[in-house]
Amino acid sequence: MNKKLGLAVAGAVMAFGASAANAAITIPAGDWTIDIGGNVNAYYTHTKVSGDLDTGAENKTNTVQTGLLPSALGIGGKTRQNDLDIAFQFTFFTGSDSGSGTSLGNNSLNIRQAYLTFGDKSWGTIKGGRDLGIFASDAILSDMTLLGVGVGAGAGGSSTLGRIGSGYMYADWVGQISYVSPNWNGFSFAVGVREPWTNGSDTTKKDMGYEGKVTYEWTGDYAGKIWLGGISQKHQSGTTAAAATLNADGTVTVTPASDFDGYTSRGWDIGGKVSVAGFGLVGYYYDGKGLSGSTTTLAGGTALIPNGALFFSNVGKSDDKGGYVQATYVIPGVGTKLGASYGVSKSDPASGQGVAEFENKSWIVGAYHPLTKSLNLVAEYTDNKLENMGYVANQDGKAKTLSLGAILFF
């Protein structure tokens, strides 16, 4: 993958138009510079499921859809006033599949970025609004499937999961007030206050969330980056509702209603990456309590699985951990990037809230070829295995996906 396209990937996730380096159109407007940019992508995906993901009706799904990055259009602006760098960003995201499988199916238009920034390189930058969270952001920005599909194909919607939930928690797009320090010879840090996510039982939104990270980055023949981050949010006491789960053998597992005391969701992560002579290596690990959240239905199955989003589900103070390793190589002259990665996420529910530890792991191999400086052709194969889906013992499934497509940055 060439340098410009690599920068575009990061820009597509973090701020399409906030950096003129990634903008397709730059418009001078008085004291302001307006930047417009984005991406369009589409993939054919073929997914075959087995085990408890196979409902018996059809175990294969074929789609044309967007990948981990939804298609997007970003509009941003920047200026220098009173010794301050000032900027704003709006980014509109959408998918490409028809949803219902007919021409009447609609994808939602989602404004995931809407924020302002102000600061100076001498003392740092303050951000206010909705943008990608701080905790686990480097994990997703280092994931090779940003250019592709990864896990979660075939279920519809505007995005697949990449490696979310099978290697890292999702940083997500959250309302925040954050601060990023200047870069001191490669060292920097970021801290933020984020809007509180509820856990399905405590819906008060009384306690804000807090997150941050420290980073050291270096250049040269052995360029690389290491980071250490953390997140914390308190939940009030409450009562979980009773739930019933229909098992594959026709039996029903009932989880009774129960009270829970207030607790704090918290987590930390550590990661690093290095590149030399076309080779790239990424290593990442996270650990925490009460992080496991939002659920997803995979193609061909009705079993709900925690997808690794930081939505804090009502399983209480779960024990969560995981990580991934990734190796890539760019073929000299041709520019094709070959990659392979393995990742796993585990969530052990709090006492009384489930019967088994959920595990989500996957192997992903891919080839990413820069046909032009803006257009990448992509081929991926994903082997995803789920154990104790929905925290129900012996509810296991597999999903294997072949995806072929292209992503265009402009």
Q: What is the pLDDT of residue 328?
A: 98
Q: Domains in the chain: how many in total?
A: 1
Asked whether 123 and 92 are in contact (CB, 8 A), the reply is: no
Q: What is the pLDDT of residue 268?
A: 96
Q: What is the pLDDT of residue 7?
A: 38
Residue 308 contacts by C-beta under 8 Å, 6 or more apart in sequence? 161, 164, 165, 166, 168, 169, 170, 292, 293, 322, 345, 360
User: pLDDT (tens digit, 0 to 9) for every residue of the chain, 410 residues total?
Assistant: 343 333 344 444 443 333 333 446 889 998 999 999 999 999 999 999 888 787 766 688 899 999 999 999 999 999 999 999 999 999 999 987 665 454 445 567 888 999 999 999 999 999 999 999 999 999 999 999 999 999 988 876 778 999 998 999 988 899 999 999 999 999 999 999 998 877 666 667 788 999 999 999 999 999 999 999 999 988 776 666 666 666 666 676 766 666 656 778 899 999 999 999 999 999 999 999 888 765 555 544 444 455 555 545 555 678 889 999 999 999 999 999 999 999 999 988 765 555 678 899 999 999 999 999 999 999 999 999 999 887 778 888 899 999 999 999 99
Owning domain of residue 126: 3-409
CATH value at residue 310? 2.40.160.10
Q: What is the pLDDT of residue 202?
A: 62
Q: What is the pLDDT of residue 354?
A: 57
